[in-house]
Chains A and B, each alone.
Chain A
Amino acid sequence: MTRIIPYLTMLGALLVQVALVPNVAVGGVTPNVLLLAAVTIALVKGSRAGIVAGFVGGLLFDLLGSGPIGVGAMVFCVVAFVAASLKENTFADGWLVPLVIVFLASLVGEIGYMTVLAVLGQGAGTLGGILGRALPAGLYNVVVAVVFYPWVARFLRRDKPMTTFRRLA
């Protein structure tokens, strides 16, 4: 049962991304719940699960769009791996740690996606894209993560029930 929980998490994230996210856009900026779910899995379950979740999440992200399929999968699994490595090698505790990692992962993930698209000739990587899209999206993801991360992390750790959110950090 615990093995399929990350997949259920990604499926839930897909449904939220399709049904809810388009309707909560602020100035054209939307949160990336699939990336958020992959990073959460990486932080809670470790880098191996994070890589798989990142690949699956990125692939779903690609299938939702109209760009080349595989770009999101490539970027998200790298971002999830780096996020897990960052968490494992950070000698700090506290609820701010996952939020900071989520922000950095979102920023790097969105800029990475934009850059790979530009390299493939599918768009232009511009300062406007970074300041007008990637940065606000990173901040939006952090806002969503404040609600999303504790609940999803608790869901992912069903084998180790917790009574407080404090320990999730």
Chain B
Amino acid sequence: MRISQHERKGPDGWILAVFLVIAFVLITVYFREGPTGPLRTTRKGVQAVLAPVGRGGYALTTPLRSVGSWVGDLSTSRADLDALRAQNEEMRQRLVALEEARQENERLRELVGFVETRELEVLGAHVIGRPATLWEGLITIDRGTAEGVEAGMPVLSASGLIGQIVDATQHSSRVRLITDQRSGVAAILQSTRAEGIAKGSIDGGLSLEFVSRETTVTVGDVVLTSGMGGVYPKGLLIGEVADVQLSDADLFPHIKVRPSVALAGLEEVVVLVGMPADDTAAGGGE
């Protein structure tokens, strides 16, 4: 049996109280300081220092992810592949490399086509970091202020809207995904033109809020950016309605939206660095 050491120890409760006060002061300073305040500047510095670490980790774990994906994709014919793998190891590795290049080529062509169709002024970027904590829907890209990226710029893929730059260091930037709980995008339902806010949630879901009760919303309706607010161009694909619930007590219907972009597997994105002329009054925002 262990004897409690509590009594012979010092007053740890006081130490806890001191650190709680310091934490409280930090929170207060954070809310009172401006965008260039000491805490936000420190955060930027830490992120600039850690961006290469994240990029290194991403590169190092690529084989791990590839193996996981390979096993997942080909599990139905695993017995056959086990026999073939022994004979064709070198060939398979080459094939994987070629396939990777082909898919990247395809994605980039799709991106270029998307950009040319809409006449957007964009900057291509690679995803170099995924969310490091549970409560953040943030990814890191390999473009920063040196390439003209600024906080607030929209980020897209060929399939639609991804999010918005929240902060940029010299050679990397962080993008808040549309599914992040702090994200909100002015949106419109394509079929009825009803407006609402596409809002992220704490569990990574996306919903369309503040749509009028009188609006008829059906599963499958397409959700687009509305062009209100000055951040996002009008008409970018956000997703489609996945579920609608409306009870007599609700002020607004509960609309779940399935994002058009598979946000978990993003590899290449484009940052919208310039708006098309007819979309200057477009947008949404946090």
Contacts and interface: CB of A to CB of B under 8 A. Distances in A.
B15 A18 contact: no
A40 B174 CA distance: 31
A146 interface: no
A28 interface: yes
A18 B128 CA distance: 11
A22 B20 contact: no
B169 to A, nearest CB: 13
A59 B19 CA distance: 11
Contacts of A134: 134
Task: Give the interface size class of chain B.
Answer: 35 or more
Interface in B105-140: 129-136, 138
Given A73-B26, A128-B205, A65 B2 contact: no
A30 B182 contact: no
B202 A124 contact: yes
Interface stretch (A1-9, A74-82, A148-156): A74-82
B9 A28 contact: no
Contacts of B43: 62-63, 69
Contacts of A23: 57-58, 61, 64-65, 130
A69 B39 contact: yes
Contacts, number: 173
B181 interface: yes
A51 interface: yes
A90 B25 CA distance: 34
Interface string A107-125: 0001001100100101111
A143 interface: no
Contact of A65 (B1, B57, B61, B135): B135
A46 B6 CA distance: 10
Interface residues of A, number: 63
A98 B42 CA distance: 34
A19 B15 contact: no
A55 B201 contact: no
Interface stretch (B46-54, B73-81, B84-92, B228-236): B46-54
Nearest to A54: B19
A94 B58 CA distance: 37
Given A22-B54, A63-B42, A77 B133 contact: no
15 contacts: A18-B54, A18-B57, A19-B53, A19-B56, A20-B57, A46-B5, A48-B15, A58-B23, A63-B43, A65-B135, A70-B29, A74-B24, A88-B6, A123-B202, A133-B134
Given A113-B135, A120-B31, 6 more contacts: A18-B129, A19-B58, A23-B65, A66-B167, A91-B2, A122-B182
Interface of A: 14-15, 17-25, 28-30, 32, 46-48, 51-52, 54-55, 58-71, 73-74, 77-78, 81, 85, 88-91, 93, 110, 113-114, 117, 120, 122-126, 128-129, 132-134, 137
Across the A-B interface, give the 5 residue pairs with the lowest CB-CB distance, nearest first.
A19-B57, A70-B26, A22-B130, A74-B23, A70-B27
